[in-house]
Chains A and B, each alone.
Chain A
């Protein structure tokens, strides 16, 4: 389409300038709103045209290729998902032992009972959706507390960097990490697996297969440091065992996060199916929220619109002191958002390692 011609542009702009539109004539505006062009930006012929750029894969009419390997040829040679994950994320074929270890990890990651991913999948299922919607939603349950592989791994990398630079011994780094993050959900050490041997068995399996490396070794130091510092019994948990094992297999924290969230999504699909099979759908307005669960303001009459000024309360704060006072007041209003702080930064490289949560 491109831009509208000058004659029509001037004509349309003149009409608007004469009619005046709200604040658009204000000199404070960064440019003249009555001189703006109409239509879309013409095609850029000076730069190369847009293409999907990828290091990961390409396809043509007759072939699909990931990291240089034709995927059909990979399967015909006897490889499977386990190996393609190494190819996709690390551009390499794994050793047999690495493949066995990833297989082990993924079986353990497949199911976790009615925790968040399964619960979300079931809630979505009740709205009568496609299965894929529910599976997608289940993946979104993975954050920086539940399934916090990105946070866990990036933290290990941060402290191990300091070890590599000679700033700290591995033991001292583990002690410092625990001291600075003892109560963080992504520590990898907690009271969750005191009676379940699965986490320790995973690490033992990695050692037996000869794939355990610096991350498992460091995590073991972290467990020791946490046990020394904690007032309650703690031990390696599934996050710590799985995260460290995946990183020793060469996966980045983000790749680990994605692979394990997707792995759980298969089971979330089974939960979707069972929910549809065994339960009813939800209709809009069907579900009630009991008053006994409510602890907000008591029931009150809605003021007449004409009395708005009498009842209205302005949020405008003219001084920092007023602002602070209001901020503190609003913390008491549950659901207003004033009591929490979040990390909303570009998560491209590292994510989940900053302190977030309640103020």
Chain B
């Protein structure tokens, strides 16, 4: 049996021999036997260290609360893919891949915090001053302030403030929580001044703050947050695969299905005649001249 890796790489993460699998110097089997938790293993994987007890507790809370979020882009993506009945991992892969610039943008939030903290240090400004600058700059540029607002939980994400509180309870308050709290305070005040509605902190704003505080980089935090959601999205896909109808278009179901033909609303160009090949050149030239097509270009 060929046991060579698919390709060679110098890596500081792990190695595997016939005798053991070692991650950051620790034999995985020994780590499990010694009674460490899966959350501890995350610190070893991404930070090359055993965490304090409270840091471990914080990550446990964070990952657990983020795991399930019912119908979000990730679950919907997973269910949508499952309609074709591919192998289950494909549904989960799709779910994890939905995390991007808007849905759970943990890394973006982390990079934002780091950028302004760095700038504050260079410019000799306090964390509170930098929070004000950050909010002003984002609002002036009409950019969404990362970590604020959630389209479903309009009164603030139910997980968000409890994460902040847990961080405080565990006495894990550091520069990130101070910065995030200041951003929220100034953000709320600004919107109130502008006569705009209340927009609460979301789970990226609070959860990613906690992840950064306990030492994870923006991308490591994003990995933890988005991949842990994969667990629940697999359950959603599996429920649909085991108890639902494939395709999601059956007319025999008592409820109109996800992609029933009647669910399609078309707002594109009107039905038209396909030009014959001999008409193509003239037809195409005219179409380009008139330019009506441009409104449809995406």
Contacts and interface: CB of A to CB of B under 8 A. Distances in A.
Given A71-B64, A262-B231, A40 B159 contact: no
B220 A61 contact: no
Interface in A28-79: 38-44, 47-59, 61-66, 71-72, 74-76, 79
B246 A191 contact: no
Contact of B238 (A131, A139, A258): A258
Given A136-B93, A198-B21, A258 B28 contact: no
A80 to B, nearest CB: 4
B295 interface: no
Interface residues of A, number: 111
A198 B29 contact: yes
Nearest to B161: A72
A269 B227 contact: yes
Contacts of B89: 139-143, 257-258, 261
A135 to B, nearest CB: 5
Given A54-B239, A107-B31, A265 B60 contact: no
B85 A136 contact: no
Contacts of A273: 46, 217, 219-220, 223
A41 B18 contact: no
A333 B151 CA distance: 54
A257 B87 CA distance: 10
Interface in B197-229: 217, 219-220, 222-224, 226-228
A266 B223 CA distance: 6
Interface in A78-111: 79-85, 88-89, 103-104, 106-108, 110-111
B152 A132 contact: no
Contact of A271 (B13, B28, B237, B253): B13
B71 interface: yes
A349 B242 contact: yes
Interface string A111-151: 11111100100100000001111011101111100000010
Nearest to A261: B89
Interface string B1-27: 101011111111111111111010000
B130 interface: no
Interface string A258-290: 110111011101111111001100000000000
Interface stretch (A12-20, A168-176, A317-325): A12-20
A229 interface: no
Contacts of A359: none
Most buried by B among A4, A71, A257: A71
Interface residues of B, number: 111
Interface in B265-289: 265-267, 271, 273-274, 276
Contact of A75 (B61, B85, B226): B61
Interface in B67-104: 67-71, 75-76, 79, 85-90, 92-100
A279 B7 CA distance: 13
A112 B38 CA distance: 15
B194 interface: no
Interface stretch (B141-149, B179-187, B254-262): B254-262
B100 A258 contact: no
Contact of A258 (B86, B234, B260): B234
A62 B155 contact: yes
B245 to A, nearest CB: 10
A251 B78 CA distance: 20
A201 interface: yes
Contacts of B98: 132
List the 3 closest A-B pairs by CB distance, nearest first.
A269-B223, A258-B234, A113-B16
8 contacts: A41-B264, A57-B68, A89-B235, A104-B32, A104-B33, A106-B38, A114-B16, A198-B21
Given A81-B39, A103-B32, 10 more contacts: A47-B254, A58-B70, A110-B41, A113-B21, A254-B88, A257-B89, A267-B13, A270-B13, A270-B223, A347-B86
